[in-house]
């Protein structure tokens, strides 16, 4: 009843999908287009698990309706993953153990990608601030900040690790 | 039992990057809501809006008639509703006792509702949205009853939850060591305190979910979404559905965090498969965040009266504990653990020769409780460490010296813990040098330099420090199984009954098995996450997977190697004694060699069981430096140091991750997280905007270090369960550091959490009484 057709670009591919006007973007991506990398942790804009990139900006896909992205370009974690293996940002998360259960991880990757694309020189404070909308219950964030800091080089930013405690000792 | 040598090799002890990560980082994880089955329907739960009340009627006529709705079930639709035993109830998994049966939770409330969020009906519809819409059409008539909200003083004076029960104290535990009466008689110094640890729990980022599929031809039920203890839940489900065990399969997939809370048997773990069979269609139910905050196992909420007797030199003669644990409305699968642990673990790593505890389980109209990281131990450590600082102050003894003086020495280990009853499970502290761990912590923290900051006001903020010692129990029995199979391509498959809930179990077990088989990690493939892989599994709780499954892997590898030699002996026509296994090759004394691929098709496989009734005790010390803004009450963690002796590090990378995550979760519990209820039993923290968990900006200054000085003497691997230790001491540390910082105001926190509003309030009270003292 009252379904609408939406056309947009998902990870560089044109998609066309019929949705109810009330369908959220995240549900459309997960359950209609079956890209399940984007997660739902709260449905009310607090946890960041559903973060996707909309025309270069990171947005919370649980707070948007699918019909709002008509004609726009959406990138999810799948779109940031190379055909095989890991992107430098993803590899840095692995190296620094920036994930445990992995549930918050796709939102972390999309949010960090959006941050470093704009601010490749973001320092620790800025990284923490920019990532404060993404809740991780497992890691305590230390390793996530280290992972993002080291990935700056891949975005043309500062690459050196400041002296400090090394992760594993 | 096969004798196995401790494994040593190239990968155990290395910071190996996790095998799990590749999929998870690419967004290819398979969490329960990622699974779509053909013809799948969706469920939604109608929950009680009231904390306490008598159900007069549940009328689902209109909801059932709604297009797109396939079923609405209420207690009246469940088998047994007309039976004297009533609707099915959730079994108690840990330390059950027939005396607890009246307090088990029915899968749907039948006559009474006892907490906000209690399931009353279950709707199945074409989509989650339709199922939710249908909930609004169910007419629920409940006659309200006054709510019981506190467990203080055994819940005396609170409305009764269970008819025919004399009080809300429904169960309890008593533990003892030595003669506590004698210790208090004639003691030169005693002190008594009352403390409280508030209600909070291990919110997981993935909410719970269940997807079930019934196969009418085979008569089998398959359920996805299991975690932590799939084998035990399978038994419960089989029993509740009246199916044979082998007709029920539980599939784990990826699980978005556990911390002890996810994976227990909840009402939905019955409701979803029950409807899937009834409708002969796959049914999926995914919890939303508000439901999660109400429906997941809650934890803590413990009042404690604690008393200590000492000599003038600070030697502890004895301690007495009387605690009231607010267990919520029902006794569920793991509810018994917190009260049991509070009864046993208040002494911690210290020499308390005489001890007695009396811990009550008190029901209330709040969500039922279960285990959460450091269950009963976080509480015990808060009570003990807070008391110690007060006592040291009274006696004029330095707080570090007071602890050092009373810590158990290595030559006093093993040392028995107080034995609790009923249903005792005796345990002893295994090995370690607790005093040395304290010294390591003080040195790393820089205690001597930071000491002068105690109570100082710098740039408008007050500084305080604290240090304390802890033990963490791990490696709960009874057993774990690992099956190893030599495949035709020369790879070794490893199947385990342990669960993966984000702690990197796959990587860790692969490391252990690789070294035991002297093979590179790529030659091993690890399987877990289905109840079909091994005959029995015991799951992931009580920091047990590494120790239990790790040792089972050592046994399996040892047996596999014998089988390999025996088979090679036949093929190579050489006596076994003249053969040796070396890094995946069999070599004979005569110089002949044979690769594992040559042994294809010979059925080389072994399923090993590692049994263990002895717990391991990781131990260590924490120290913290805080700065407090007296005007806002905000506490900043300037430095936090945690040191632990884990016996044996399998993977320093994952271990460090567990330790830091655990400390930050402890900080969340001590400072931010709080389930607030009003007097009517309504929960006021129903969103993540009200129930505050740590964010990236909150606690940047955490340092954690693990050492491996005292391997467990009880098993070949030597590792001790780790992963909860970070959380356990945090409440006590923060309470003591706050008292240290605000000494000028005479602040002595006795309750958690130390949220800004509460800290500000303590400062105001301190100012007021200082003002009065000044006037007088
Ligand atoms: S699901 Fe969108 S912010 Fe939590
Ligand atoms: S890795 Fe589990 S929530 Fe972040």
User: What confidence tens digit (pLDDT) does each residue in B730-760 have?
Assistant: 999 999 999 999 999 999 999 999 999 999 9
In a domain? residue B120? yes
Domain of A104 in residue numbering reads as 88-155
In a domain? residue B758? yes
Chain B residues lying within 8 Å of A137, measured CB to CB: 202-205, 257, 259, 661, 665, 693
Of the three residues B560, B581, B611, the one that is the final residue of a domain is: B611
Residues 34-93 of A with CB under 8 A from B: 34-44, 46-47, 49, 76-78, 81, 85-86, 90, 93
- Mean pLDDT in residue range B164-183: 96
Site to substitute for ligand 2 among A40, A49, A104, most atoms within 8 A of C-beta = A104
pLDDT of B755: 97
Least confident of B176-185, B223-232, B541-550, B626-635: B541-550
In a domain? residue A161? no
pLDDT of B734: 98
User: What confidence tens digit (pLDDT) does each residue in B332-377 have?
Assistant: 999 999 999 999 999 999 999 999 999 999 999 999 999 999 999 9
Give yes or no: residues B454 and B530 share one domain.
no
Residues paired with A74 in a beta bridge: A10, A54
Q: Pick B653's closest partner by Cβ from A104, A136, A167.
A: A167
Nearest alpha carbon to residue B469 among B439, B446, B438, B440:
B438
Q: CATH code at A101?
A: 1.10.150.120
SS3 A74: strand
What whole-number percentage of chain B has pLDDT above 90? 85
In a domain? residue B574? yes
In a domain? residue A141? yes
In a domain? residue A110? yes
In a domain? residue A12? yes
CA distances from residue B92 to B96, B151, B365, B420, B425 in whole angstroms, order as listed = 5, 21, 19, 18, 17
- Mean pLDDT in residue range B134-161: 97
Of the three residues B572, B592, B611, the one that is the final residue of a domain is: B611
Residue with tokens 């002296």, as numbered in its chain: A163
Q: Pick B27's closest partner by Cβ from A78, A124, A143.
A: A78
**Is residue A104 lining ligand 2, measured as CB closer than 6 Å?**
yes
Q: CATH code at B438?
A: 3.30.365.10
Band of pLDDT at residue B4, cut at 50, 70 and 90: low
How many A-B residue pairs are in contact by the CB < 8 A criterion?
186
DSSP state of B89: B
In a domain? residue B301? no
pLDDT of A164: 39
Q: CATH code at A32?
A: 3.10.20.30
Residue B221: enclosing H or E segment and its boundaries? strand B220-224
Nearest ligand to the CA of A48 is 1
Give yes or no: residues A68 and A96 share one domain.
no
In total, how many domains does chain B have? 3
**Is residue A161 lining ligand 2, measured as CB closer than 6 Å?**
no
Distance B587 CA to ligand 1 centre (A): 58
Give yes or no: residues A136 and A111 share one domain.
yes
pLDDT at B386 over 90: yes
What does B598-616 look like in DSSP terms, one character per residue? GGTTS--EEEEEEE--PPE
Strands B220-224 and B248-251: parallel
**Is residue A161 lining ligand 1, measured as CB closer than 6 Å?**
no
CA B620-B626-B631 angle, to 5 degrees, is 150
pLDDT at B265 over 70: yes
In a domain? residue B169? no
Q: Pick A137's closest partner by Cβ from B21, B203, B653.
A: B203
Give yes or no: residues B136 and B238 share one domain.
yes
Distance B691 CA to ligand 1 centre (A): 15
pLDDT beneath 50: ranges in chain A? 160-169
Give yes or no: residues A70 and A96 share one domain.
no
Give yes or no: residues B573 and B691 share one domain.
no
| Sequence-distant (≥ 6) Cβ neighbours of residue A169 within 8 angstroms | B652, B656, B705, B706
Tell me if B687 and A46 make a contact (CB, 8 A cut-off). yes
Rounded to the nearest integer, the mean pLDDT of chain B is 94
Nearest ligand to the CA of A104 is 2
In a domain? residue A164? no
Chain B residues lying within 8 Å of A105, measured CB to CB: 24-25
In total, how many domains does chain A have? 2
**Is residue A40 lining ligand 1, measured as CB closer than 6 Å?**
yes
Q: How far apart are alpha carbons B569 and B580 in whole angstroms?
A: 10
Give yes or no: residues B492 and B458 share one domain.
no
Kindly state whether A104 is in contact with chain B, defined as any CB-CB distance less than 8 angstroms.
Answer: yes
Band of pLDDT at residue B544, cut at 50, 70 and 90: confident
pLDDT of B701: 97
In a domain? residue B382? no
Tell me if B665 and A140 make a contact (CB, 8 A cut-off). yes
Q: Are B26 and A86 in contact (CB under 8 A)?
A: yes
- Mean pLDDT in residue range B11-23: 94
What whole-number percentage of chain B has pLDDT above 70? 96
Domain of B122 in residue numbering reads as 33-145+203-295
User: What confidence tens digit (pLDDT) does each residue in B546-586 have?
Assistant: 888 899 999 999 999 999 999 999 999 999 999 999 999 99
User: What confidence tens digit (pLDDT) does each residue in B54-110 have?
Assistant: 999 999 999 999 999 999 999 999 987 666 557 999 999 999 999 999 999 999 999
Report the gap between the CA of A27 and the closest CA in chain B (Å).
11
CA distances from residue B207 to A59, A93, B327, B438 in whole angstroms, order as listed = 21, 23, 22, 38
pLDDT of B230: 86
Mutate to test the interface with B, among A137, A143, A148, A163 (most CBs of B within 10 A): A137
Report the gap between the CA of B177 and the closest CA in chain A (Å).
37
Q: Are B425 and B345 in contact (CB under 8 A)?
A: no
User: What confidence tens digit (pLDDT) does each residue in B694-723 have?
Assistant: 999 999 999 999 999 999 988 889 999 888
pLDDT of B721: 85
Give yes or no: residues B576 and B532 share one domain.
yes
pLDDT of A108: 98
Band of pLDDT at residue B304, cut at 50, 70 and 90: very high
Site to substitute for ligand 1 among A37, A39, A46, most atoms within 8 A of C-beta = A46
- Please give the distance of CA A7 from its chain centroid, rounded to a whole number: 22
Half-sphere exposure of B588 (CA within 13 A, CB side): 15
Give yes or no: residues B48 and B82 share one domain.
yes
pLDDT of B475: 76
pLDDT at B776 over 60: no
In a domain? residue A168? no
What does B438-496 look like in DSSP terms, one character per residue? HHHHHHHHTHHHHGGGTT-EETTEEEEEEEEEEEEEE---SEEEEEEEE-TTS-EEEEE
What does B121-176 look like in DSSP terms, one character per residue? EEEEESSHHHHHHHHTT-EEEEEE-PPP---GGGGTTSPPSSTT-S-SEEEEEEEE
Residue of A nearest to B15 (CA): A168
Kindly state whether A122 is in contact with chain B, defined as any CB-CB distance less than 8 angstroms.
Answer: no
Q: How far apart are alpha carbons A78 and A94 in whole angstroms?
A: 16
Q: Pick A100's closest partner by Cβ from B28, B657, B706.
A: B657
Closest atom of ligand 1 relative to the A48 alpha carbon: 3
In a domain? residue A27? yes
In a domain? residue B375? no
Give yes or no: residues B655 and B637 share one domain.
yes
As a dihedral over the C-alpha atoms of residue B7, residue B9, residue B12, residue B15, rounded to 10 degrees, the angle is 170
B504 compared with B280, residue with greater pLDDT: B280
Give yes or no: residues A95 and A114 share one domain.
yes
Of the three residues B239, B261, B295, the one that is the final residue of a domain is: B295
Give yes or no: residues B25 and B38 share one domain.
no
Report the gap between the CA of B433 and the closest CA in chain A (Å).
20
pLDDT of A163: 39
User: What confidence tens digit (pLDDT) does each residue in B413-430 have?
Assistant: 999 999 999 999 889 999
Nearest ligand to the CA of A38 is 1
Tell me if B700 and A81 make a contact (CB, 8 A cut-off). no
Number of H helices, E strands in chain B: 17, 30
pLDDT at B10 over 90: no
């Amino acid at each position: 009843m009252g379904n609408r057709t939406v056309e947009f670009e998902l990870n560089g591919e044109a998609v066309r999908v019929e949705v109810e006007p009330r369908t959220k973007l995240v549900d459309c991506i997960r359950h209609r287009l079956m890209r399940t990398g984007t997660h739902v942790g709260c449905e009310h804009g607090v946890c960041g698990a559903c973060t996707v990139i909309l025309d270069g900006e990171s947005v919370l896909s649980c707070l948007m309706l699918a019909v709002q992205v008509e004609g726009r370009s959406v990138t999810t974690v799948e779109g940031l993953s190379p055909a095989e293996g890991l992107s430098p940002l993803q590899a840095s998360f692995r190296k620094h153990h920036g994930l445990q259960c992995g549930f918050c991880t796709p939102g972390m990757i999309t949010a960090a990608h959006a941050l470093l694309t704009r601010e490749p020189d973001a320092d620790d404070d800025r990284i923490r601030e920019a990532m404060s909308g993404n809740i991780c219950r497992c890691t305590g964030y230390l390793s996530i900040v280290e992972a993002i800091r080291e990935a700056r080089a891949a975005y043309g930013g500062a690459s050196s690790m400041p002296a400090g405690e090394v992760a594993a000792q | 039992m096969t004798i196995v040598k401790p494994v040593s090799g190239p990968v155990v002890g290395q910071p190996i990057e996790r095998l799990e990560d590749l999929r998870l980082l690419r967004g290819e994880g398979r969490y329960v809501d990622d699974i779509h089955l053909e013809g799948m329907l969706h469920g939604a739960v109608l929950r009680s809006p009231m904390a306490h009340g008598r159900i007069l009627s549940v009328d689902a006529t209109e909801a059932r008639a709604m297009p797109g709705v396939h079923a609405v079930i209420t207690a009246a639709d469940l088998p047994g509703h007309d039976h004297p035993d009533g609707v099915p109830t959730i079994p108690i998994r840990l330390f059950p006792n027939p005396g607890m049966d009246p307090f088990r939770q029915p899968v749907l409330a039948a006559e009474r509702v006892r907490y906000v969020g209690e399931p009353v009906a279950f709707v199945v519809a074409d989509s989650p949205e339709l199922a939710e819409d249908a909930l609004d059409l169910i007419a629920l008539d409940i006659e309200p009853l006054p709510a019981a909200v506190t467990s203080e003083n055994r819940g005396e004076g609170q409305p009764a939850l269970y008819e025919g029960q004399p009080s809300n104290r429904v169960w309890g535990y008593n533990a003892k060591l030595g003669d506590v009466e004698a210790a208090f008689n004639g003691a030169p110094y005693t002190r008594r305190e009352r403390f409280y640890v508030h209600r909070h729990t291990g919110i997981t980022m993935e909410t719970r979910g269940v997807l079930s599929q019934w196969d009418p031809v085979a008569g089998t039920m398959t359920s996805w979404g299991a975690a932590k203890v799939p084998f035990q839940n399978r038994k419960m489900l089989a029993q509740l559905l009246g199916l044979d065990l082998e007709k029920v399969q539980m599939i784990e997939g990826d699980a978005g965090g556990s911390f002890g809370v996810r994976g227990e048997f909840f009402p939905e773990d019955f409701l979803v498969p029950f409807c899937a069979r009834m409708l002969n269609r796959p049914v999926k139910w995914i919890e939303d965040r508000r439901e999660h905050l109400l429906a997941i196992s809650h934890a803590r909420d413990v009042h404690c009266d604690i008393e200590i007797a000492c000599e003038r030199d600070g030697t502890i003669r004895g301690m007495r504990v009387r605690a009231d644990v607010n267990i919520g409305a029902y006794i569920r699968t793991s509810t018994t653990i917190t009260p049991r642990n509070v009864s046993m673990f208040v002494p911690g790593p210290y020499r308390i020769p005489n001890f007695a505890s009396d811990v009550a389980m008190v029901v209330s109209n709040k969500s039922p409780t279960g285990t959460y990281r450091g269950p009963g131990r976080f509480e015990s450590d808060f009570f003990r460490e807070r008391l110690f600082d007060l006592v040291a102050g009274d006696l004029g003894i330095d707080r570090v010296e007071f602890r050092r003086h009373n810590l158990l020495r290595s030559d006093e280990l093993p040392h028995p813990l107080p034995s609790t009853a009923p249903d005792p499970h005796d345990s002893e502290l295994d090995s370690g040098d607790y005093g040395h761990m304290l010294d390591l912590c003080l040195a790393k923290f820089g205690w001597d330099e930071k000491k002068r900051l105690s109570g100082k006001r710098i740039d408008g903020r007050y500084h305080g420090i604290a240090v304390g010692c802890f033990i963490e129990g791990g490696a709960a029995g009874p057993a774990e199984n690992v099956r190893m199979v030599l495949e035709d391509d020369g790879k070794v498959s490893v199947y385990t009954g342990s669960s993966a809930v984000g702690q990197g179990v796959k990587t860790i077990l692969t490391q252990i098995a690789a070294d035991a088989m002297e093979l590179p990690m790529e030659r091993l493939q690890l399987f877990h996450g289905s109840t079909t892989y091994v005959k029995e599994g015991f799951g992931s709780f009580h920091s047990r997977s590494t120790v239990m499954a790790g040792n089972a892997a050592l046994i399996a590898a040892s047996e596999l190697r014998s089988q390999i030699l025996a088979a090679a002996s036949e093929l190579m026509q050489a006596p076994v004694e003249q053969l040796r296994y070396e890094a995946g090759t069999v070599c004979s004394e005569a110089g002949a060699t044979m690769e594992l691929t040559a042994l294809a098709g010979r059925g080389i496989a072994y399923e090993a069981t590692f049994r263990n009734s002895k717990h391991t005790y990781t131990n260590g010390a924490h120290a913290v430096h805080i700065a407090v803004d007296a005007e806002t009450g905000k506490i900043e963690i300037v430095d936090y140091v945690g040191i632990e002796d884990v016996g044996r590090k399998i993977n320093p990378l994952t271990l460090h991750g567990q330790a830091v995550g655990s400390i930050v979760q402890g900080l969340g519990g001590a400072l931010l997280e709080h389930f607030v209820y009003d007097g009517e039993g309504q929960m006021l923290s129903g969103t993540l905007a009200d129930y505050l968990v740590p964010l990236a900006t909150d606690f940047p200054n955490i340092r954690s270090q693990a050492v491996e000085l005292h391997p467990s003497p009880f098993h070949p691997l030597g590792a001790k369960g780790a992963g909860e230790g970070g959380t356990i001491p945090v409440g006590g540390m923060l309470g003591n550091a706050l008292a240290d910082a605000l000494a000028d105001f005479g602040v002595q926190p006795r309750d958690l959490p130390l949220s800004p509003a509460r800290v500000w309030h303590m400062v105001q009270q301190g100012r007021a009484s200082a003002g009065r003292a000044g006037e007088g």
